[in-house]
Structures are given as structure tokens and as C-alpha cells.
Chains A and B, each alone.
Chain A
Amino acid sequence: MHELSIAQSLIDAVLDKTAGRAVMGVNLRIGPLSGVLPDALRFCFDVASAGTTLAGARLLIDEPQARGHCRECGTDFAMTDMFLLCPCGSADVAVVSGRELNLVSVEVA
């Protein structure tokens, strides 16, 4: 359950930037290829934020679509899993997006 470590990193990063102010909301961007499951992170966030200024804060997670670029046929396509395979059959694929694991912003009172 690496989401617990990630939730702890998230809380530490927010505490660093908010100087004790009550945190109302946290905005994240988590791509489907990042290796982090948004639902698991939500669960861990609720547990790990208890007793901090983040307790009860809304966790808004933007989940962008994963996209790949085929170096062979030049098309951009939606990736449904981590396998580097273009619909044209080529495996020479660059991951364009989907690996995001970002803390975008926080809303403080």
C-alpha cells in the first residue's frame, strides 16, 4: 500500500506550504499510469490527515487520460494500459501523458 506513503508525503508537502492554516481542499492530478490508485489514496488521506490542519479537507483528484505517441505511424492514441502498443501494431511508443502524480494546489481558510 504505497498510497499511505504518498498520502503522508502529500500531507507533509501541504503542511510545509500552509503554515498552520486550516486546509479546506487539496487538488491533485493523478494519471492512470502513475501507479497510484485515487480511491486508495483517498482512503489513506482520510486516515493520515486526522489530527492535522488537513483533517476533513476535500480531496479533488483530476485523472487525465493516458496518451501515447507512435513513433512509427505518428498518431497519438489513448492508452488503456501500460503496454506500449499502438493500434497500428508498433511497440515503438512514447508515453505522452498519464504518469502525472502532482499536487496542483491547496485551498486554505
Chain B
Amino acid sequence: MCATCGCGDEAAPRVYSLEVPGLDVPGQEVPGPQAHEHSHEPGHSHTHDGHTHSHPHDHAHPHADGHSHTQANTPELIPLEQNLLAKNDLLAERNRGWLAGRKVRALNMMSSPGSGKTTLLVRTLTELGDRLQAGVIEGDQETSLDAERIRKAGRPVVQINTGAGCHLDADMLRRGLDALDPAMGSTVFIENVGNLVCPALFDLGEAAKVVVVSVTEGDDKPQKYPHMFMAADLVIINKSDLLPYVEFDVDECVRRIRRLNAHAQFLVLSATTGDGVTAWYDWLDGHPSRTETRAGSLAGPLEESLTDAH
């Protein structure tokens, strides 16, 4: 506490007074404790190593011995220590519980725009027919063009338009699930907004994250958008029919993903011609869900759901 006027840590906790682990990073401003100058006019201002603030309160100053103050507004520091995505993560856990309760498996499909997610889904839903009981939640900034393509495949589909939003979040998925009302034991494909950046950060409560990258995008995508590939459980390299015409090294792409993500699985296929899609169907048949590894107690119901679905 300041010996002159009584202001200081205890009376007026400040932003810089917080002991934050790692704050002593070189170049980070760490003002020393109370090395500051005063000017004591009413409504006086202080300088604390580099920043200034003013006190709008009046001081009653009996300056004889141990002066006392009457302070109307004492700033207060409220410690919170919570993740910035805590609310989303909580909603995602609720989704996960809701899905587990209905034995529904949700797969979060992510990619850049135009990589072929919708084409892959339409082919999957058409070819698997009744083998796979599934619905789709379509995320796009605008339009229901993709949802219409899914509807033509004869499957229940819900469109979520995010407007300016660049990703789906857990609350959007909850609303989508409410609208879709998936059957017990079914699969829900969540087609996220086409974007290799933002969707990677938002847990939706899905069983697995599937990232689609097409060979026309370049095999350096994993290096350029590492968060997305770090988050992936399965990476699908799509448009393999175009490999003879583009410079895309499949092995190099896989190597680059491996350097970010030790557990991802890989498939190479063409959603347009159907080459390689059998492996994707096998994955859908036999995939152990992420929920299973996160919470062992949920393994039973979800495993049953895979069986029930086919």
C-alpha cells in the first residue's frame, strides 16, 4: 500500500498487480510494485510505470496522522480463471450426453469450401440406402442449396444458416438436433461451414471430426491450417480421380498431417467417381467413436448404436 495516500494493491487492486504465471515473458510489460508518482489535487491522477489512471472520488484528508480516505468507487479485481470457450464446451458436453442418451452418433464434417463434402454425403446416403439410418445438419452462411441436394437423396436434413458466422457452435448444433429430431441409434452428419480455420476450435459434442481435403487444394494445406488437421480423427483426401492432373503428393500430405496429429486415420477416395468410397463405408461401419475414448461409460450405448444403425 502506498505510504502517502493509501492507494495501492490492497485498496485498489489493479490489472498489473495480478500474479499471472508466465507474465514475466521478455518484452511483456510488468510494472514494479507501486513505483508511482502522485499529484494530490482533488480527483488526483497517478502514474504507475507507464500507465495513468485518475480517481474520480473526493478525498477527505486529515493529514495529521495516518490519513483516512472516503472512497466511493473502489475498483475490485474478480478472479475468474475460466476457459474462454467454457460456455461452448459446456453446451457441447450437453449435446454429447443428449446424443449418447439416444444412441445417436454425430460426425462433424469439416473442410474448405468446395472440397466435396456434400457430394460425398449424397453418394454415401444414396449408396448405403437403408443400411445407414442417417440425417444431415447443413451449416452454410447462406442458402439451402446443399440441403436441397441432401433432400433429393431422400434423407431428413436441417439447414443452419450462420449469416456472418464462419463456423457452427455447440448451441447451433443443439438447435439443429432439436429440429432434426434424429431417430434412436441413427447417425447425424454435421456438414460444417466450409472453412479450414474457425470450425476447428469449436467442440460440438460430436463423436468424431472428419476433415476432407481435396487434391486440387494442394498437399501443403496441413501446414497452412494446422489447427484443423490437429483436430481431425479422420482425414479424407478427396477428388483422387484428379491426381493425374494436379501436383498433389498424397504421401507428402499424410506425412505433414502426421507431424501435427499422431492419431488421425486417412482415406483416399473420389466422391465423384466412387473410387475408394468402400473404405469410407467400412470406416462408418466400424469406427470406434471419440466419445468412447473420452468417457468409457458411454462406450456401450454408442457401440450398440453402430450396430443398430445398419
Query: Given A84-B260, A107-B76, are A6 and B15 neighbors across the interface (CB < 8 Å)?
Result: no
**A62 an interface residue at 8 Å Cβ cutoff?**
yes
Per-residue 0/1 for A78-107: is the Cβ within 8 Å of any B Cβ (1 yes, 0 no)?
000111110000010000010001111111
Interfacial chain A residues near B296, Cβ < 8 Å:
none
**B183 an interface residue at 8 Å Cβ cutoff?**
no
Interfacial chain A residues near B297, Cβ < 8 Å:
none
Per-residue 0/1 for A1-44: is the Cβ within 8 Å of any B Cβ (1 yes, 0 no)?
11011100110111001100000110111000001100000000
- Which of B76, B85, B165, B258 has the largest count of A CB atoms less than 10 A from its CB? B85
**B253 an interface residue at 8 Å Cβ cutoff?**
no
CB proximity to B under 8 Å, residues A26-83: 27-29, 35-36, 58, 60, 62-65, 81-83
CB proximity to A under 8 Å, residues B1-47: 13-16, 18, 20-23, 25, 28
- Which of A10, A13, A24, A107 has the largest count of B CB atoms less than 10 A from its CB? A107
Query: Given A64-B21, A108-B75, A109-B75, are A102 and B84 neighbors across the interface (CB < 8 Å)?
Result: yes
Contact A104 B18 (CB under 8 A): yes
**B81 an interface residue at 8 Å Cβ cutoff?**
yes
Interfacial chain B residues near A12, Cβ < 8 Å:
87
Contact A104 B259 (CB under 8 A): no
Residue on A nearest B167 in the bound complex, by CB: A2
Contact B227 A102 (CB under 8 A): no
Contact B169 A106 (CB under 8 A): no
The contact of B15 among A18, A60, A91, by CB within 8 Å, is A60
CB distance from B77 to the nearest CB of A (A): 5
CB proximity to A under 8 Å, residues B252-267: 258-260, 262
Query: Given A1-B166, A9-B88, are A104 and B25 neighbors across the interface (CB < 8 Å)?
Result: no
Interfacial chain A residues near B14, Cβ < 8 Å:
25, 107
Interfacial chain A residues near B75, Cβ < 8 Å:
24, 107-109
Contact A82 B260 (CB under 8 A): yes
Residue on A nearest B14 in the bound complex, by CB: A107
Residue on A nearest B199 in the bound complex, by CB: A2
Query: Given A82-B260, A83-B260, are A103 and B22 neighbors across the interface (CB < 8 Å)?
Result: no
CB distance from A108 to the nearest CB of B (A): 5
Contact B82 A13 (CB under 8 A): yes
Contact B197 A62 (CB under 8 A): no
Contact B88 A109 (CB under 8 A): no
List 15 additional A-B contacts (Cβ < 8 Å) besides A27-B20, A63-B25.
A2-B197, A5-B202, A9-B87, A10-B84, A14-B80, A36-B84, A60-B15, A84-B262, A101-B83, A102-B84, A103-B83, A104-B79, A105-B18, A108-B75, A109-B73
The list of the 10 closest CB pairs from A to B, nearest first, reads A64-B22, A2-B198, A82-B226, A25-B15, A35-B227, A105-B79, A101-B84, A83-B259, A62-B20, A109-B73
Q: Which residues of A contact B (CB under 8 A)?
A: 1-2, 4-6, 9-10, 12-14, 17-18, 24-25, 27-29, 35-36, 58, 60, 62-65, 81-85, 91, 97, 101-109
